[in-house]
């Protein structure tokens, strides 16, 4: 007999994070990009941490994507991510910010200059 999914998830995050609810770093958001450091041994890592490193070896993923692939809450993923960054297995970087659009006044001046030349 299998337990309902609701009951199975009550203890698991606590166990996965060794009872911690906060990451060692508080700089991760949903779009933080995560990539693996090549050549780092993964022996001795918990299964979840090992899977996280394996996911990120193929290329950078956002924190939200990693959490979805692991089927873990984002809060749990942040705790694991902090541990792996501290141990040197993963690197993070902020997502590329949106380019700022030039002011409409500047665009109008460029358009007027081009029209004057034609």
CB atoms within 10 A of CB 44: 8
Q: What is the pLDDT of residues 12-30, one digit of tens each?
A: 776 777 667 677 767 888 8
List Cβ neighbours of 65 (8 Å cut-off, separation of 6 or more). Answer: none
As a whole number of Å, the CA-based R_g of the chain is: 22
pLDDT of residue 114: 92
Which residues in the chain show pLDDT less than 50?
9
pLDDT of residue 19: 67
pLDDT of residue 6: 52
- Residue that has been written with the tokens 């690197």 in this structure: 91
């Amino acid at each position: 007999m299998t337990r309902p999914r609701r009951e199975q998830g009550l203890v698991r995050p606590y166990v996965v994070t060794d009872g911690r609810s906060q990451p060692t770093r508080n700089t991760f958001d949903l779009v933080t990009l995560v990539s693996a450091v090549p050549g780092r041994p993964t022996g001795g890592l918990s299964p979840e941490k090992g899977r996280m490193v394996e996911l990120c070896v193929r290329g950078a993923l956002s924190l939200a994507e990693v959490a979805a692939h692991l089927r873990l809450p984002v809060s749990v993923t942040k705790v694991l991510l902090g541990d792996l960054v501290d141990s040197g297995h993963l690197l993070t970087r902020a997502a590329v910010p949106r380019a700022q659009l030039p002011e409409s006044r500047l665009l109008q001046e460029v358009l007027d200059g081009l029209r004057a030349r034609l």
